[in-house]
Chain A
Amino acid sequence: MGISDEPVVAEAEERTVPMGREAPLPIRPLPKPFNPVHLIGPGIALTALGVGLGETYQWPRLVIVFGPSVRWLFLLGVTVQLVVMIEMARYSMATGESIFFGAARIWRPVMWFFFACALFIYIWPGHMAVGAQSIENLTNGRLGWYPVAVVGLLLVGVVLTIVKYVYSVVEMVLTVFVSILVIGSAIIASMVGSWGDLWDTLQGTVALGGGSPLPSDWFTDTWFPIVVGAVAFAGPSGMQQMWYTLWLRDKGAGMGSYVPRIAGLRGLRDVEKETIPARGYTFDVDDEEEMAKWQGWRRWNFFDAGVLFWGITMLTTIIFTVMAISATRISPQTATLIQEGEREAALDGMAAAFGSVSAGWTKTVFLLLIGVIGWKQSFGLFDALSRGQADMTYYFAPKARRWSMSRHYMFFVWFIILFGIATLSWIGTEDGPGAILDILAFLSAAVMGAYCLLLLFVNNRLLPQKLRPGLISNIALGIGVLLYLGGTLWSWLVMGALP
């Protein structure tokens, strides 16, 4: 397999753009942009990964406890995530590199910080455990959560290993699963919800309606960490946005088109014949035609971020909030469970409440959806985590290039799966699946603040002047730093309460 790229003679002649502390980027033609109006792409993969327990449980819970008027904070959180997504894509499409490479261009220890964070935060198989618990509830205990979770983990590993090109399969699986989630939740909501519930939720999204938009209880030791965590869980939490840059590259968006894809066993021989460049490429920003193509790529990304990510995330959460309001109206006992924060009992209570209005079938659909969320979250997260770790290891670990990036990827996939099975045996059987998910949620907000800082620096200092973000994007990223990093530090250092 070829490791570095062009011959030395060619390097002396070609134009390059210096960028930070790593090698300068050679200039190549920017490929023709994709059609801007599209449905299938990295945006939908990120949306599928992002729509999880924050949308289906945490935010509906806050609405039940404090009233719909607190939903403005969700709107703010998802809108900040929209800008983050656009800015992540700006770097990745302009250079063909992941944002981790961007971090290394500032200073390699910054990148290794994210490497450590990713392993520490995402190695826990919490989503799979909660999804498996739902299947156990659905089958009245006939299928235990532990064997279901182990089989689910092994299935993730097998699918990610045997395919030809990994990204196409990840995109397909996540799209199918998010479609099922969206269709299923729409059907349940249509049965149990009402125009009144929807109107309250919509008013609350713009800080109108019943209750205070900033309840005083939020600033207590009990609630502040939960609110910070819920803001982080509005849209893609933790490092999911950073991994979006790797999916963009494998999709061939912008300059990512010059970097080979990650392959599974069936495609390994093909990709190992290809030459992997030692860094990305960029394009000539002084050429008007190239800048016109760049605007085309931006339009494609705006649709990916604005319609697919922002639109689907907002609609799904509105629908789940309506469902939670309906569940508490149907069954006051469920309202108590949700208010007490007993997640598993609350989800089961919601399922029972839905079942009571439809001869039982909406209960089955709801529990299936929670199972679907658990599996697709783990599938997407394990792919993305392995992809990110493989990228950093391949480019920056000494002697790592003796293996191709695809081999590093497969190593991380199976390492995480085997660690996950061991964790389920060790922690899960004693404390239940919810305890594992809490470990994951606990650590997400801080790293999101860190990547907002990273984006501010990388896109404003490293990219050529003509490609840098505008004032509004920078303000939104600044709000992200305050919300995520400021919130976590305030909670931890000032209030002494950990999320």
Chain B
Amino acid sequence: MALLVTIAGEGASSFTAAILALTIPLLGAGLLFGWLTDNDRLTFGRALLYWAAAFAVSRLTQELLVGNRQLKDGLIGFLLYQGFVGVLFGLGFLLLYQQVLAGLRKVLGDRAPDPDGGERRG
């Protein structure tokens, strides 16, 4: 994205603070998610709930740090909306996470069975 922003002729510094204020809490949530997954604490449904909460908290942090501190719809409305969006974010994250894990396994030469548990006869 930085490359395209540079090609577009816009300075990246204008929004660096806003991006960092969201990225850092999300990164923290991602690390905790990885730990929980490694320890088999998250099912599919719990993982979505986790991201609903983690995304809402990350956005609240961003608003408090670099926003104008006037939350649309008040605190409850803001958190409800961000939680809903967080479910979609969580689905995207889970999909990407699975693919990255599968890619890493391939690079590391792990011969673990297909997560689908299927077998091919043809």
Q: What is A's interface to B at a CB cutoff of 8 Å?
A: 28, 31-32, 34-35, 37-41, 44, 138-140, 142-143, 172, 175-176, 178-183, 185-187, 189-190, 193-196, 198, 251-253, 256-261, 274, 277, 311-312, 315-316, 319, 358-361, 364-365, 368
- Which of A139, A182, A186: most chain B Cβ within 10 A? A186
Q: Is the CB of B81 within 8 A of A193?
A: yes
Q: Does B38 contact A (CB under 8 A)?
A: no
Chain B 77-89 interface mask (CB, 8 Å, partner A; 1/0):
1101110111111
Max chain A Cβ within 10 angstroms of own Cβ: one of B78, B93, B95, B116 = B95
Give bound CA distance, A31 to B121, whole Å. Answer: 9
- Contact between chains at A39 and B4 (CB < 8 Å): no
In the complex, how many angstroms separate the beta carbon of B80 from the nearest chain A beta carbon? Answer: 6
Nearest chain A CB to B56 CB, angstrom units = 9
* Interface residue ranges of B8-35 to A (CB < 8 Å): 8-10, 14-15, 18-19, 22
Q: Could you say which of A196, A257, A316 contacts B118, with CB atoms under 8 Å apart?
A: A257
> B82 — nearest CB in chain A belongs to which residue?
A190
A494 CA to B116 CA, complexed, in Å: 49
Interface size class of B (residues with CB under 8 A): 35 or more
Q: Which of A140, A182, A194 contacts B91 (CB 8 A)?
A: A182
The CA of A34 and the CA of B18, in the complex, are separated in Å by 43
**Structural contact, B1 and A261, CB atoms closer than 8 A:** no
Contact between B73 and A195, CB atoms less than 8 A apart: yes
Given that A39-B98, A182-B89 are known contacts, is A257 also in contact with B115, CB under 8 Å in the complex? no
A358→B99 contact, CB < 8 A:
no
Bound complex: CA A44 to CA B115 (Å): 15
Q: Which residues of A contact B80 (CB under 8 A)?
A: 195
Please judge, given known A-B contacts A35-B117, A186-B86, whether A179 and B96 are in contact too, CB under 8 Å: yes
Rounded to whole angstroms, the CA-CA distance of A31 and B19 in the bound complex is 48
- Chain A residue with minimal CB distance to B120? A252
- A37 CA to B94 CA, complexed, in Å: 13
A37 touches B44 (CB 8 A): yes
